[in-house]
Amino acid sequence: MSKTTVIAFANNKGGSGKTTTCSNVGCALALQGKKVLLIDGDMQLNLTLSFFDEEKALGFATSGKNIYTAIKEEKDLSDFIVETEYEGLDIVPSTSLMSSIEFDLFSKWQREIILKKSLEPVRARGYYDYILIDAPPTLGGWVMNIMCAADFVIIPVEASPWGLFGLANIFEFVGQVKNIAPKLEILGIAITKADERKNYLKQTIETLSETEGANLFETYIHVDSAIEWSQDNSKPVVVYKKNSRSANEYTKLAKEIISYAHR
Ligand SMILES: Nc1ncnc2c1ncn2[C@@H]1O[C@H](COP(=O)(O)OP(=O)(O)O)[C@@H](O)[C@H]1O
Ligand SMILES: [Mg+2]
């Protein structure tokens, strides 16, 4: 078995905390001594912008070091990896060209597993402990690729009145992906932007605790303005303000992820 665990962060609802969770869990894992590769799968570049300023992030479009070029040309992903400023934490950046990825995938043979094939040499080398993939807020051929390349899916869910709306769609989608990738599992649901003062937090927790196969994580990520400040400074909150509430919570969530992924 490969030493590398691949986890997709997905939810078709935008603003549910996918990117924030992917960047902070990734950085927390690296701070705990793991080797981590992040893959930015979204044309909005938010994961890339979590580590680089706008000028550098946009530069990956011209340098060709981005996920779009790797997938379009069906290349070994190893050649598209860029180091971040943090020890043990690397990234494959995104570009706005990802807006046409569905079109580019359409004409390819075995189009559901282009990313999986591109990742195979990286997995085979066994250097990374974790590969975390940030998905866009859609459920189409590209997210199918992301899930087919993964061992596990983590679904970040915003504790808001509409947070749970549409969750059935992603469960159904994962079910469909399992026809192609039978070993894929939902590792868990992570509640984000929790606010104890709001009634719907309790409701969200109750509903998710009762949902079969949801595997709600014990650690919730609370609303914390430190997150927005950290993103404004192109840094994950676990390094930008390491004693903040959300930084501690993401560190705990990373530990939960390690224990569940290796059960
Ligand atoms: N715990 C939190 N507290 C405060 N703001 C948050 C928190 N988590 C995420 N956000 C903010 O919510 C927005 C959406 O988060 P993001 O991670 O980009 O979601 P997604 O990737 O699912 O679209 C961002 O502006 C982010 O700064
Ligand atoms: Mg995002």
Which pLDDT belongs to residue 2? 66
Coil, strand or helix: which one is 190? strand
Distance 16 CA to ligand 1 centre (A): 6
d(CA 210, CA 230): 34
Which pLDDT belongs to residue 263? 78
Backbone angles phi and psi of 159, in degrees to 5: -80, 80
d(CA 69, CA 66): 6
One-letter amino acid at 250 equals Y
d(CA 136, CA 228): 20
The DSSP result for 143-167, as a single string, is HHHHHHT-SEEEEEEE-STTTTTTH
Q: Which of 1, 45, 7 is nearest to 254 (CA)?
A: 7
Distance 1 CA to ligand 2 centre (A): 30
The DSSP result for 84-139, as a single string, is -SSTTEEEE---GGGGGHHHHHHTSTTGGGHHHHHHHHHHHHT--SEEEEEPPS--
**Is the distance from the beta carbon of residue 17 to the nearest atom of ligand 1 less than 6 Å?**
yes
Report the pLDDT averaged over residues 9-17: 96
d(CA 44, CA 98): 9
Distance 20 CA to ligand 1 centre (A): 6
**Is the distance from the beta carbon of residue 227 to the nearest atom of ligand 1 less than 6 Å?**
yes
**Is the distance from the beta carbon of residue 145 to the nearest atom of ligand 1 less than 6 Å?**
no
Ligand 1 pocket test, pick from 227, 241, 246 with the greatest ligand atom count within 8 Å of Cβ, gives 227
Distance 237 CA to ligand 2 centre (A): 16
Q: Where are the domains of the chain?
A: 5-261
**Is the distance from the beta carbon of residue 206 to the nearest atom of ligand 1 less than 6 Å?**
no
132 pLDDT more than 70? yes
Reported as a single tens digit per residue, the pLDDT across 20-74 is 999 999 999 999 999 999 999 999 999 999 999 999 999 999 999 999 999 999 9
| Exposure string for 130-154, b = 16+ CB within 10 A, e = fewer | bbbbbbbbebebbbbbbbbbbbbbb
Specify the range with the lowest mean pLDDT, choosing from 57-66, 124-133, 163-172, 232-241.
163-172
Going by alpha carbons, the residue nearest to atom 15 of ligand 1 is: 17
Q: Which ligand is nearest to the CA of 44?
A: 2
No. of helices (H) and no. of strands (E), the chain: 12, 7
**Is the distance from the beta carbon of residue 14 to the nearest atom of ligand 1 less than 6 Å?**
yes
Report the pLDDT averaged over residues 221-249: 97
Q: Are 163 and 122 in contact (CB under 8 A)?
A: no
d(CA 42, CA 84): 18
d(CA 112, CA 103): 13
Superfamily of domain 5-261: P-loop containing nucleotide triphosphate hydrolases (3.40.50.300)
- On average, the pLDDT of the chain sits at 96
Q: Which atom in ligand 1 lies closest to the alpha carbon of residue 224?
A: 3
88 pLDDT more than 90? yes
Report the pLDDT averaged over residues 188-214: 92
Which pLDDT belongs to residue 262? 87
Q: Which residues surround ligand 2, an ion (CB under 5 A)?
A: 18-19, 46
Rounded to two decimals, the pTM is: 0.98
Going by alpha carbons, the residue nearest to atom 27 of ligand 1 is: 228
